[in-house]
Each structure stands twice: as structure tokens, then as C-alpha cells.
Structure 1
Amino acid sequence: MDHRSWNRRPVWTAGCVVAFGWAAAFPLVSTLETHRVWGTCAAAGYLLAAVVMLGPDRERTRAVAVCAALAGAVAVPLAYLLVNGAAQSEVAVIERAGRLLTQHATPYLEHPGSVEEVTPYLPGMALLGLPRAVLGADHPVVRVLGDARLWCAAVLFGCLWAGRRALASGRGGAPANGARRAYFTALGALTASPVVALPLVVSGVDLPLTGLLCLSLALAARGRPVAGGLALAGACALKWTAWPAVPVVMALLVHRAGPRAAVRSALVALAGTAAALLPGLLLSPRPMAEQVLAFPTGRGEFTTPAGSPMPGRLLADLGPAGWYAAVGLLLAGGLAVAVSLVLRPPRELVGAADRLALGLSLAFLLAPAGRFGYLALPVVLVVWSRLVRRDTADPGRRRSRVAAGAAPVRGAAGTALPSRPVPAGGPR
């Protein structure tokens, strides 16, 4: 979609209205107190943003509307829930995993007594619970600083910052102020959207995974195999749902830096993931397998609360045959994406992000157990890759080259790179 078509006031106003309707439904239909708090605050923020968008159709108007939406959808409800110590159960799971990691070197209980004591994440997620384990919760300020949601959000935005910086490093100049403002306004709108704001406020569990996958794709697009492999290892050590990103990143690296660089990146990712998983595999192999693999797929001792009515879950509810059918479709979808990587590998950041988003969407839709919130990850991949591509492009240089009769040369991130000037007498 052309930037000018979606950057107009009617589109922004419609987005605010849709977000308002989405948020306003939560206090009416949700049974979770955290969701009701978020919906009440976010609806007010989105409504105020819609009113602001009735003003002049300028960049400043959009920036003010984004600030209003961020205040209502993120700042106010997050502060309220942090002060009151209210969160979804995922936050307590991460913080307990961090405490167990410091005490037993493994985040998994040997014999969990209820679903709340199950840790369905890989050991890397426990690192985000370490601040709570170290700081404790004796003082209100310390309790807030140790909250896992803050550290999950810090990883997300830190990775997005690093990814943008990596992509901009090959541009050959600082971005124009207007482009920088437009990027941060759009990023603020993405953060304030219900897709990101709700999980950020109430749980935050998928945010670090999202950030690390964006960073690994950005580093691969810049042809940096070791750094990309390390980011990929960080993602793969959090949740096994990150593992489909490995072939996508490798396919992009083959095109950007060659097969040897892709192999080197894969080895780094494999070694980093193995190092993170090794303590759990050695100290608690059975609890780790049951809680990380069996529980999320609906085959564990306890029933997973991830029960949104998606196709895979509906099939699994039909019985063993339905469960195997869902798994078969899931494997078939993964195979189709893998074949597409061989036949038509991605050549730049947006193509790789789209391919990974497609694979993850199929996985989330066809998995025997899942929830709609998982789809936030593919949405961020698709949107952020386009935002950062536009921000790190060099339209002035591209226009000058086109005016001179030369086609722009593409760089590692799909950006225009300088080439040798054509002599006055023509090419020699």
C-alpha cells in the first residue's frame, strides 16, 4: 500500500474508531479484571485520539492523536496495574521461573500441582523474571521495577531500536527529521494499537520474542550473520514458536551474504539455543518436555487456558482423530512455507518478514491449542518491517539517480546505495 494512501486523516480516524470499539467491548464481555481495566482506559484514549484527528490534516495532529492513544491504551492502565500488582497469570509464571532459576538452576517444578505452576516457556524466558527474584517485592517501588512486563517491553523496544539502527547504518547518512518523526509517529501508533497495547499492559510475554525476531531479520538483511544468529538464539531460547524463523533467516542470509554466512549464522543460533536449554535438559528433562511441549499442544496433564476458537483448536476438540488432523495440517503448512523458501527465497527484509509472518500465522491458526493474541507477532513483523524500510530508505539519493538515468542499486536492507558517478562524456 502506498504511504500516502494510509497516511491520510480518514484512515487514521477510522483506525481510532475501530480501536475504540475493540477496547470498549472488553469491559462488557471479558471476565478478567486486567482486561476490563485496559478496555476502559484504552477506549477513552482512542476516543480522544479520534476527536484530535478531526483537526487539521497535519503530521503534528497525528502525533498528538498517537500521544492520546498511548496515554489511554498503555501509560494509564499499565501504571494502575503495576501499582496494584495486578497482571495476567503469565507474569507470575515468568517471575516464578526466575526465582526457581536462581534457586535450582532450572525454571521447572518437578511436580506442578496446578496449571498455575506449569512453565510452558523455554529457559530463556526465566531471565526476564530475574529482576523480581533479585529485587523482591518488599517495597512498592521495588515491586514495580521488578515486574516482568517492564522487562519484556524493554527487550521489545530495545530490539526495534537496534534493528532500525542496523538497517540505517548502511544508508550513508542521517535520516531527515521529517522521516524520523514520521517513523516514530507510526511506531507509536503501532504500540498504541490494541494488538500491541493489550499484551504490553496485561502480560508482555510475547513482546521479547517479537523484538528478537525483528532484530534477527534486520541483521540478516544487513548481512551480519553472527549478530543475527545471536538474536535468533535469544528468540529460540524463549519459546519454541520462534524456531520457524531459523530457515527464514537463513534463506535471507544466503541471498544477502552467501551460503557460508548462512551456515555460520545457523551454527551460532544452534550453539546459543543449546547453551540456554542445556541446564533444563540436564536437570529436569521430563518436567521440561511435559510443560514446554505437551502442555501447549493440549497433551499434558493440565488443560492449557489458550483456548480461542481457531481451526486447530476446533479440530482438536473433536477427539484424537481431530487432534491428529490438526497436527497434520500444521505440518503441511510448515512444509509448504519451507518449500517456498527453496523455490522463491526472500531477498530483502519485508519479503522475509512476510514469509515468517505467514508461517507463524498458519502455525497459530492450526495448532491444537492457541489464542488470538498470538497473532500479534505476525502483525508486528509485517507492519514494522515496512515502517523501518521506509524510514531507512534514501529517497533523495534515489530521485537523483533516477533523474540521472541510472537505476538505484539495492543494499542489504533493500535501500538505495551510492554508485560511481557517470562521467560527463558518458560511460567508458
Structure 2
Amino acid sequence: MRKSFGEWVAGYGRRPVERYVWAGCAVLTAGFALASDLTPHRVWGWSAGTGYALAAFLASGPAPRRAARAVAVAGAAVLPLVGLVATGTGQSEVAVIERSGHLLATTGSPYVTAPASVTEFNPYLPGMAVFGVLPGDPRWWLGGVCVASLAAALPRRVGPLLACPLVALPFAVGGVDLPVAGLMCLGLALAGRGRPGGAGLALGAAAALKWTAWPALPVALALVAARQGGRAALRCAGVGLGAGAAVVLPFALADPVGFLRNVVAFPLGLTTTASPAGSPLPGHLLAAHVPGGTVIALALLTGGALLIGVRLAVRPPGTARAAAGRLALGLGLATALMPASRFGYLVYPLLLAALAHEPAHRAPEVTDRSVERTPA
């Protein structure tokens, strides 16, 4: 039965907040498309802007909320990904993963010992090269691992998170940080559910992909120790460190010079070749415009890490949500203070913040009266 104009107007006022959110996203992404000089970003901006505009229209009427969110996900994540993959267009990180996978398959190492240009550097840990060995475009696998991890950790928020511009943009154009962030969320969620082995395996897999995952290990260990005791924490540590080391160490020992140049010196801005990661965040601005700014940024980064580590030891988190909040804060500071950083790294604190605000009944955790007395 067709609804009358009056019924449509009545439905229009049911969800004012959501329609304004989608409308704001539409305006921002359209502006992003106009301002960017990168083809993948322009393609994504126009597609996402259209999807968000349609979602705002649907959210303004009596259509189910799921329909508006589905349109937002389709326009912002799925359709631009399909189009960019079909045309072979993407951010430079896609080419880095493909090249590292080719090197791994042909030479046994994903690294060039003496890289001479930006295109020869590979700043990722060896596990990332696996996505370049798998058939098809790496973005399918990168996004798939992220979605699967979030579906296990945050089953009711996968759609809204995929619709978020900070997640949808890398999902379509690059996505190298998505599986790392997804596995980190999964590891903390499993730690909170009393599964130290599973938590260690998820975090070990993330730790084999990028350095950004390593801060999650001590946070998870503090959580497991607070909830289940030292033996469970040792099990989590053994599985996590063992899985990560089994992937990383063989390549680090086989070519230590190449490994250090690619995955340590280059991301920290300590090589003669500058990293393309140069968003105008505080750490990058210090390194670029202040004498000795790189050292200052690294010192601030180290100081912040030490303060968070001390608080972690003194007051360990008692729930996965508290642990995710701590880690989100730490990685947010790291994103701001790293000399070579980019806005895309904000996907880490965003996804972790979503886990930190997940209602308790949606993320069952081990009950322990002693934990209730442990300050978060």
C-alpha cells in the first residue's frame, strides 16, 4: 500500500540525527573529491558522496534504517572498490604489497636490501607480503580479513563501521591498515572473553603485518593477567609472540640490513628517501619545520608510550572495553606524533574506540569478582 504524503512527512522526523550524519558525510566526501588531486580519491569521493546522499534521503523517510546503512556501505565502500579494482587503480600501498609478494615468491624475501627510491621500499612486516601472493587484487583479501575480524569482535557494528568515511576510504583505495586494526580488535575481544590462546593467535597474526599491532600485545597481556592470572597471560604471550616471531624473525635474520632499512628506518623518517606518509599532523610538522624536529617527535612519542605503559602496569584494564580504550588513546597519540604519519592511521583508534564503547551484553566477557575491584 502506497504511503500518503502526510505519512511520509511523519516518517521524515523520526531519525533526524542519522539523516544529518549522512548528509554531512555527503558534503564532506564531495568536497574531498573536489580538493584531491589523486584519481582513486576522486573516484571514491564522488561514489561515497552519492551513496551518503541517497542514505540521507532514505533516512529522512519511513524506510528501514538498515536500508539507509546498506546504501551508505554500497556507495562508500563496495562500489568504489569494485570500480577501482576493475580499472587497476589504487593507492601506492597496493603496488607495494603486490611487489613484495612478487619478491617473496621469486627471491624468498619481500625486501630489497638497498632500496634506492620510494617505490623500492617496503615498510611492512613480512606477513603483509602474503596478501600480494594471494590471487587477485590485495584489497579483496585485506578488506576480507578486516570484515571477518570485526564480525567476530563487533558483530552488530560492522555495517556502520564500513559506512564510516575513515574506514570506507582505505577499504576502497588501499586498506593496508584494515586487517591489522581488525585483528587487534578481535584479539582484545577474545582476551576479554577468556580465550587467551585465541587472543594471542589473532594478535600474533596482526603483529606479523605491521609494527602498529605490537602495542596491543602488552595491553592484552595486562588484561588477561588481571582477569585470569599469570598462567593464562603466559599462554597468550607465548602464542602471540611465537606466531609473530615465526613470521618476522626468519627474514630479519636473513637480511638484517635490508629489514632495518625498510621496516624501521624508512617509516621513522631516518632514511635519505622520504616516506610519502606526510599528513600535516604534529609529528610530521615538527620533523619538517623544526630543527631537530624528528628527534623531538620521537622523544615525545617515547615519553607518551612510557606513561601509558606505567599506567598499564599500575592499573591494568579489567575488561576488553577498557583495554581497547587504553590502546585507542595510545595509538591516537602515536598517529599524531610519528614523524612519518598520515590521517589514514586514525582507523586504528576509531575501530578500537568502537570496541571500547561496545555494550557489555554484546561482547560477553569472563566474569570475575576480583576484576570488578580492579580499576580500569
State the alpha-carbon separation in 2 of the partners of residues 210 and 388 from structure 1.
20
Whether the 8 Å CA contact 1:106–1:279 is kept in 2: the answer is no
Deviation at 1:385, TM superposition (A): 4.4
State the alpha-carbon separation in 1 of the partners of residues 367 and 269 from structure 2.
40
Alpha carbons of structure 1 residues 209 and 368: separation in structure 2 relative to 1, 3 Å? same
Whether the 8 Å CA contact 2:124–2:210 is kept in 1: the answer is yes
State the alpha-carbon separation in 1 of the partners of residues 146 and 359 from structure 2.
15
Q: Secondary structure at the match of 1:83?
A: helix
State the alpha-carbon separation in 2 of the partners of residues 256 and 195 from structure 1.
33
Counterpart position of 1:150: 140
State the alpha-carbon separation in 1 of the partners of residues 193 and 355 from structure 2.
16
For residues 69-109 of structure 1, the C-alpha deviation after alignment (integer angstroms, 9 at most, x for no partner) is 11211122111111111111101111111111111221001
Which runs of no fewer than 5 residues in structure 2 stay unpaired?
1-13, 369-376
State the alpha-carbon separation in 1 of the partners of residues 34 and 324 from structure 2.
35
For residues 23-56 of structure 1, the C-alpha deviation after alignment (integer angstroms, 9 at most, x for no partner) is 1112211111000000001001101111111113
Whether the 8 Å CA contact 1:229–1:265 is kept in 2: the answer is yes
Identity %: 48
Alpha carbons of structure 1 residues 199 and 266: separation in structure 2 relative to 1, 3 Å? same
Alpha carbons of structure 1 residues 50 and 390: separation in structure 2 relative to 1, 3 Å? farther
Which runs of no fewer than 5 residues in structure 1 stay unpaired?
1-7, 133-145, 165-182, 394-410, 415-428
Counterpart position of 1:338: 309
Deviation at 1:229, TM superposition (A): 1.1
State the alpha-carbon separation in 1 of the partners of residues 251 and 71 from structure 2.
44
Given candidates 352, 363, 366, the residue that maps to 1:412 is 366
Alpha carbons of structure 1 residues 121 and 388: separation in structure 2 relative to 1, 3 Å? farther
Q: Does 1:378 align with 2:368?
A: no
Counterpart position of 2:171: 200
Q: Secondary structure at the match of 2:311?
A: helix
Q: Does 1:70 align with 2:100?
A: no
TM-score, normalising length: structure 1: 0.80
- Give the stretch that moved more between structures: 221-230 or 193-202: 221-230
Given candidates 364, 370, 381, the residue that maps to 2:335 is 364
Whether the 8 Å CA contact 2:221–2:236 is kept in 1: the answer is yes
Count of aligned positions: 355
Counterpart position of 2:93: 90
Whether the 8 Å CA contact 1:16–1:49 is kept in 2: the answer is yes
Deviation at 1:348, TM superposition (A): 0.8
Deviation at 1:295, TM superposition (A): 0.6
Deviation at 1:214, TM superposition (A): 0.8
Counterpart position of 2:162: 191
Q: Given residue 225 of structure 1, which amino acid in structure 2 is its aligned partner?
A: P
Q: Structure 2 matches for 1:125-140, cutoff 5 A?
A: 125-132=128-135
Q: Structure 2 matches for 1:20-419, cutoff 5 A?
A: 20-56=26-62, 61-132=64-135, 146-163=136-153, 184=156, 186-387=157-358, 389-392=360-363, 411-412=365-366
TM-score, normalising length: structure 2: 0.90
Q: Given residue 333 of structure 1, which amino acid in structure 2 is its aligned partner?
A: G
Counterpart position of 1:421: none
Deviation at 1:9, TM superposition (A): 1.5
Deviation at 1:320, TM superposition (A): 4.9
RMSD of the alignment, in Å?
1.7
Alpha carbons of structure 1 residues 319 and 291: separation in structure 2 relative to 1, 3 Å? farther
Counterpart position of 1:16: 22
Deviation at 1:319, TM superposition (A): 4.6
Q: Given residue 125 of structure 1, which amino acid in structure 2 is its aligned partner?
A: M
State the alpha-carbon separation in 1 of the partners of residues 17 and 237 from structure 2.
41
